[in-house]
Amino acid sequence: MMETLITGVVLAGGQSRRMGANKALLAVGREKVIETIIGAMSAAVQDILIAANEHTADAYRELGREIACDRFPGQGPLSGIHAALHAVKTSWIIVAACDMPFVSPELFLFLRKIVAEEERPHAEEENVQAVIPLEDGRAQPLLAAYHISALPELEDALHAGRLRMTDWLNMLRVRYIAEETLLQETGIDAGHVFFNMNRPEDYRTAVEKQGDGEAGGC
Is 149 in contact with 171 (CB distance < 8 Å)?
Answer: no
The pLDDT, as a whole number, for residue 213 is 58
**b/e sequence 50-82, b meaning 16+ C-beta within 10 Å:** bbbbeebbebbeebebebbbbebeebbbbbbbb
CB 25 within 8 A of CB 33: yes
Distance between CA atoms of residues 59 and 24, nearest Å: 10
pLDDT tens figures, 93-123: 999 999 999 999 999 999 999 999 988 766 5
pLDDT: which is higher, 211 or 93:
93
Predicted model pTM: 0.92
CA dihedral 161→164→166→172, nearest 10 degrees, is 30
| pLDDT > 70 fraction of the chain, expressed in percent and rounded | 94
Interval 171-200: pLDDT, tens: 999 999 999 999 999 998 999 999 999 999
Quick check: 109 and 100 in contact, CB under 8 A? no
- Of residues 52 and 211, more confidence is placed in 52
Alpha-carbon distance 44 to 6, whole Å? 8
pLDDT tens per residue, range 119-171: 876 656 778 999 999 999 999 999 999 999 999 999 999 999 999 999 999 99
CA 146 to chain centre: 10
Which range among 43-47, 203-207, 211-215 shows the weakest confidence by mean pLDDT? 211-215
- Non-local (6+) Cβ contacts of 110 within 8 A are 182, 185, 186, 188
